[in-house]
Amino acid sequence: MEDPPADFGGGGGGAAAEGPVVQVADICWPAGALPVRLIEWKVKAGSLVNVDSVLALCAPIPQEKGTDGARLPEKKVKSDRAGIVKELCSQLGQVISPGGIIVRIEECSHPIVMKGLCAECGQDLTQLQSTNGNQQTPISTATVSMVHSVPELMVSSEQAEQLGREDQQRLHRNKKLVLMVDLDQTLIHTTEQHCQRMSNKGIFHFQLGRGEPMLHTRLRPHCKEFLEKIAKLYELHVFTFGSRLYAHTIAGKDLYSCCPV
């Protein structure tokens, strides 16, 4: 027979003046279960836990006289959420009554997520589903995409603000501003129409995928000299109204070598 899941007993939630709300949940022994005796901890304060992580082992206490308690199978206390163990609320050998608090867990807000996997606690968020109200689907605070080349990497607004401040401090130290430069018609010229009479010298030919049209790109006049001079004064960023794949393909190619000016 499966062990009864530990109950969620609502715990105190606290909020700092700034930053996300920290939710602390009480993991309790189910109200309808038999009393148990705590015989072994599987975690300690500060431990990272995920959904279904084993928190402790308990021995059921027989309610009828003459029952051999040693033959009753041990019960596993499992977490119903991901987070960090905040407090162990029971002592080894202590009898835990139905509804008694076993451990307190500071819930993970999942502030950094990569392809559905939380970078803080390791929880796979794609596999979490609500079941009969006993398990709440964690809602990640990671809603901001920070890296153009890795759109699956999401961070919370607080993390994004912190990264923004660090970028600002770095620019101040380097005594540089950010210069945004458009790709098309500024640095390069790209077309689907390739003139057969035109020399292939300095033209980069590529496709964005199988079945996609062939694209032909060339650096605009004096682009190389412009970039070399302006890079000493600014941190350069490029943008385009084209697709993300198009921008990454252009940025990842050594156009200096294939498109000499």
5 in a structural domain: no
Residue 132 is predicted with a pLDDT of 35
58 and 114 assigned to the same domain: no
91 and 158 assigned to the same domain: no
Write the pLDDT tens digit of every residue in 121-172.
877 877 664 443 444 544 677 888 877 777 788 888 888 888 889 988 998 9
Choosing from 132, 153, 170, the residue where a domain stops is 170
Nearest to 52 by CA among 141, 129, 139: 129
148 and 193 assigned to the same domain: no
What distance lies between CA 138 and its chain's CA centroid? 12
User: With 80 as the cut, is the pLDDT of residue 47 above it?
Assistant: yes
Asked if 27 and 54 touch (Cβ cutoff 8 Å), the reply is no
154 and 207 assigned to the same domain: no
203 and 181 assigned to the same domain: yes
Specify which of 70-79, 137-146, 191-200 reaches the highest per-range mean pLDDT: 70-79
85 and 155 assigned to the same domain: no
102 in a structural domain: yes
6 in a structural domain: no
Q: How far apart are CA 68 and CA 214, in angstroms?
A: 79
The 10 Å Cβ neighbour count of residue 152 is 11
Residue 222 tokens read as 């004096």
Residue 71 is predicted with a pLDDT of 63
Choosing from 52, 86, 107, the residue where a domain stops is 107
- Annotated catalytic residue 80: no
251 in a structural domain: yes
- Annotated catalytic residue 182: yes
101 in a structural domain: yes
Residue 22 is predicted with a pLDDT of 66
Asked if 252 and 183 touch (Cβ cutoff 8 Å), the reply is no
Q: What is the count of structural domains for the chain?
A: 3
Range of the domain at 51: 22-62+72-107
Q: How far apart are CA 24 and CA 1, in angstroms?
A: 30
User: With 90 as the cut, is the pLDDT of residue 41 above it?
Assistant: yes
CATH of the domain at 55: 2.40.50.100
Out of 20-34, 62-76, 126-140, 214-228, pick the least confident.
Answer: 126-140
Long-range contact set of residues 150-153: C-beta below 8 Å, sequence gap at least 24: 150/114, 151/244, 152/114, 152/115, 153/112, 153/113, 153/114
Choosing from 170, 196, 216, the residue where a domain stops is 170
98 in a structural domain: yes
Residue 16 is predicted with a pLDDT of 39
78 and 139 assigned to the same domain: no
Residue 198 is predicted with a pLDDT of 63
Residue 261 is predicted with a pLDDT of 40
pTM across the whole model: 0.54
How large a percentage of the chain has pLDDT more than 70? 77
Residue 111 is predicted with a pLDDT of 86
188 and 166 assigned to the same domain: no
Nearest to 107 by CA among 205, 3, 11, 185: 11
153 in a structural domain: yes
Listed in order, strand segments (DSSP E) in 134-261 are 142-145, 153-156, 177-182, 188-191, 204-206, 215-219, 234-239
117 and 85 assigned to the same domain: no
Q: What number is the average pLDDT over the span 89-104? A: 90
Out of 22-31, 67-76, 175-184, pick the least confident.
Answer: 67-76
User: With 60 as the cut, is the pLDDT of residue 258 above it?
Assistant: no
28 and 97 assigned to the same domain: yes
CATH of the domain at 185: 3.40.50.1000
4 in a structural domain: no
User: With 50 as the cut, is the pLDDT of residue 195 above it?
Assistant: yes
**3-class state of residue 247 by DSSP:** helix
Write the pLDDT tens digit of every residue in 206-255.
888 888 888 888 888 888 888 889 888 898 888 888 888 888 888 776 55
161 and 234 assigned to the same domain: no
